[in-house]
A and B are shown apart, each in its own frame.
Chain A
Amino acid sequence: MKVLGIETSCDETGVAVYDDQLGLLGHELYSQVALHAVYGGVVPELASRDHVRKAAPLIDSLLQRIEVAPEGLDAIAYTAGPGLVGALMVGAMLGRSLAYGLGIPAVEVHHMEGHLLAPMLEDQRPTFPFLALLVSGGHTMLVRVEAVGDYQVLGESLDDAVGEAFDKTAKMLGLPYPGGPELAKLALTGDPSRYSFPRPMVDRPGLDFSFSGLKTFALNTLAKSAATSQDKADIARAFEEAVVDTLFIKARRALQETGLGSLVVAGGVGANQRLRDKLDTLDAAVFYPRPAFCTDNGAMIAYAGMQRLLAGNAMGLAVAVHPRWSLEGLGR
Chain B
Amino acid sequence: MKLLAIDSATEACSAALWLDGEIISRFELAPRRHTELLLPMVDAVLAEAGLQLPQLDALAFGRGPGSFTGVRIATASVQGLAWAAGLPVVPVSTLAAIAQGMIDAQGAETVACAIDARMGEVYWAQYCRNARGVAELVGDEVVVPPVEVPLTPELKAWHAAGTGWGVYADVLRERLDSQAVDIDGERLPDSREIAKLAVDAFSRGVAVTPEQALPVYLRNKVTHQRGGKL
Contacts and interface: CB of A to CB of B under 8 A. Distances in A.
Interface of A: 38-41, 43-46, 48-49, 52-53, 55-57, 59-60, 70, 85-86, 89-102, 317-321
A36 B202 CA distance: 38
A52 B214 contact: yes
Interface stretch (B32-40, B100-108, B189-197): B32-40
A39 B217 CA distance: 21
Nearest to B41: A317
27 contacts: A41-B227, A43-B230, A45-B68, A45-B223, A48-B72, A52-B79, A56-B210, A86-B69, A89-B73, A90-B72, A91-B76, A93-B35, A93-B72, A93-B77, A94-B76, A96-B80, A97-B76, A97-B77, A97-B78, A97-B81, A97-B84, A317-B43, A318-B36, A318-B40, A319-B35, A320-B35, A321-B35
Given A86-B68, A99-B80, 5 more contacts: A45-B222, A52-B214, A55-B79, A90-B72, A96-B80
Contacts of A320: 35-36
Contact of B72 (A41, A86, A97): A86
Nearest to B222: A45
B80 A45 contact: no
Contacts of A102: 84
A39 B76 contact: no
A139 B78 CA distance: 33
Nearest to A36: B223
B230 A100 contact: no
Given A89-B72, A319-B35, A94 B80 contact: yes
B164 interface: no
Nearest to A88: B35
B228 interface: yes
Contact of A93 (B68, B73, B211, B227): B73
B81 A43 contact: no
Contacts of A44: 230
The interface centre, meaning the residue of A56, A90, A317 with most chain B CB atoms within 10 A of its CB, is A56
Contacts of A321: 35
Given A46-B222, A52-B215, A318-B37, A94 B43 contact: no
Nearest to A54: B211
Given A93-B38, A100-B42, A102-B84, A57 B230 contact: no
Interface string B39-68: 110110000000001000000000000001
Interface of B: 35-40, 42-43, 53, 68-69, 72-73, 75-85, 210-211, 214-215, 217, 222-223, 226-228, 230
A98 B37 contact: no
A60 B75 contact: no
B10 to A, nearest CB: 16
B34 to A, nearest CB: 9
B83 A38 contact: no
The interface centre, meaning the residue of A38, A45, A53, A70 with most chain B CB atoms within 10 A of its CB, is A45
A29 B214 CA distance: 20
Contacts of B80: 56, 93-101
Contacts of B69: 48, 85-86, 89
A86 B67 CA distance: 11
A89 B67 CA distance: 13
Contact of A101 (B35, B38, B53, B214): B53
Given A56-B79, A56-B83, A97-B80, A89 B35 contact: yes
Nearest to B6: A97
B148 to A, nearest CB: 24
A55 B227 contact: no
Contacts of B39: 96-97, 100, 317-319
A77 to B, nearest CB: 14
The interface centre, meaning the residue of A45, A57, A100 with most chain B CB atoms within 10 A of its CB, is A100
A56 B72 CA distance: 13
B111 to A, nearest CB: 29
